[in-house]
Every structure is written in structure tokens, then in C-alpha cells.
């Protein structure tokens, strides 16, 4: 067993695991943060997307030991004091989810995408940015709408702050 220490959603958290333990299982089973989902087991669906050191990654394709020492944000870390993150709020507003299983990965992907290309997203770039995320309810249309709305909202917020 190896000790893995991560900064998760602002808190330092540790746990023991086998070297072969996947990061997603560590997060769900050792840290009890079950918002990050396992949808496919074949690295294709993106339900397990989290941020590691500021970048979106698939936590089902990384070992927990590989991630040790890094800073992680999961879906549980997005909302502020009782207030949804603008991307979460936009998903709610635009009905960007049906069954909701893929939603944590979609939201984490959207936050990463807006962080990289915020303020200039188009339907095309959003769809390209969602290449690694699968929604089996085929709800992409409203997901794209929600992300564009969140981008506009956040760009407006940035302008207002400047």
C-alpha cells in the first residue's frame, strides 16, 4: 500500500491505496467524493473528468499514485457558499442534462474549456471541446447551449470586474 496525498477542492487529503488503484476509485471510495462518475471503463466517456493541476483529465486513466502531490478539483469543489458555479447554473437554466450521469464530466470539461478559450467560444468550438465526453441521452444540444450561455455570463462578469 502506498500513501497518496492530494489537495482536493482546497483541502489536503490522504489515503492508502494499491499502486494500481485508479484515481477515480481513490476519489470515490477513499475520499468519499462520489460526484465523479465511472461511465465506461474504456477511457472514452468522460464522466470521470476532474481537474488536475488546473487541467481537465480523465481520472479513470490515471493512477492515484501518479496524481499524488497534485491539486485536484472535482465537481463537489465548484459551487461556492451555497451558490452554483455559473456553469452549473447554466446547465440548470438551459436543461443541459437529462439523466445527469455524464453531467459532472460535462461541467468539469466546460469549466476547463471556458478557462482556456473563454469569451470567444462558438457552437463549433464547444462541440469540439466536448469530443471526449459522451452523453447517452444525446442531450448535446442543450449542453452546448448551456456552455455558451455560461461563457457569455462569465465573460460579462470578467468585463464588469475590469
Partner 1 sequence: MYATSYHRASSVEDAVKLKSANEEGKYLSGGMTLISTMKQRLAAPSDLIDLRHIPAIRGIRIEGRKVTIGAATPHADVAASRELAAICPAICKLAGHIGDPHVRHMGTIGGSIANNDPAADYPAGLLGLGATIVTDRRSISADDFFTGLFETALEEGEMVTSVTFEAPEKAGYAKFNNPASRFAMTGVFVASTAGGVRAAVTGAGSSGVFRHPGFEQALASNWSPDALNNVAVDPSNLMSDLHANAEYRANLVKVMAKRAVASAG
Q: Which residues lie near partner 1 (CB under 8 A)?
A: 2, 18-20, 22, 41-44, 46, 49, 52, 55-58, 60-63, 65-66, 109, 112-113, 116, 129, 131-133
State the nearest-atom distance from the C-beta of 89 to partner 1, in Å.
Answer: 22
Distance between the two ends of the chain, CA-based, in angstroms? 49
Q: Select 77 or 156, whichever has its Cβ closest to partner 1.
A: 77
Residues present in the chain in total? 162
Nearest approach, Cβ of 88 to partner 1 (angstroms)?
Answer: 19
What is the spatial distance between Cα 42 and Cα 90, in angstroms, rounded to a whole number?
A: 29
Closest CB to partner 1 among 93 and 140?
140
Please state the closest distance from residue 7 (CB atom) to partner 1, in A. Answer: 16
Q: In the chain, at which residue ranges do the beta strands (DSSP E only) sit? A: 2-8, 11-17, 49-52, 55-58, 71-73
Amino acid at each position: 500500500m502506498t500513501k497518496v496525498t492530494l489537495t482536493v477542492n482546497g483541502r489536503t487529503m490522504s489515503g492508502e491505496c494499491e499502486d494500481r488503484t485508479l484515481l477515480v476509485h481513490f476519489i470515490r471510495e477513499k475520499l468519499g467524493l462520489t460526484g465523479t462518475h465511472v461511465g465506461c471503463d474504456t477511457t472514452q466517456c468522460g464522466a470521470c473528468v476532474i481537474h488536475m493541476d488546473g487541467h481537465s483529465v480523465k481520472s479513470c486513466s490515471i493512477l492515484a499514485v501518479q496524481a499524488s502531490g497534485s491539486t485536484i478539483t472535482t465537481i463537489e469543489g465548484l459551487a461556492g457558499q451555497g451558490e452554483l458555479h455559473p456553469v452549473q447554473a447554466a446547465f440548470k437554466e438551459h436543461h443541459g442534462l437529462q439523466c445527469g450521469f455524464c453531467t459532472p464530466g460535462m461541467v468539469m470539461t466546460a469549466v476547463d474549456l471556458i478557462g482556456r478559450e473563454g469569451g470567444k467560444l462558438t457552437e463549433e468550438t464547444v462541440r469540439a471541446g466536448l469530443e471526449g465526453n459522451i452523453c447517452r441521452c444525446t442531450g448535446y444540444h442543450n449542453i452546448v447551449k448551456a456552455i455558451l450561455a455560461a461563457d457569455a455570463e462569465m465573460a460579462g462578469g470578467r468585463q464588469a470586474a475590469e
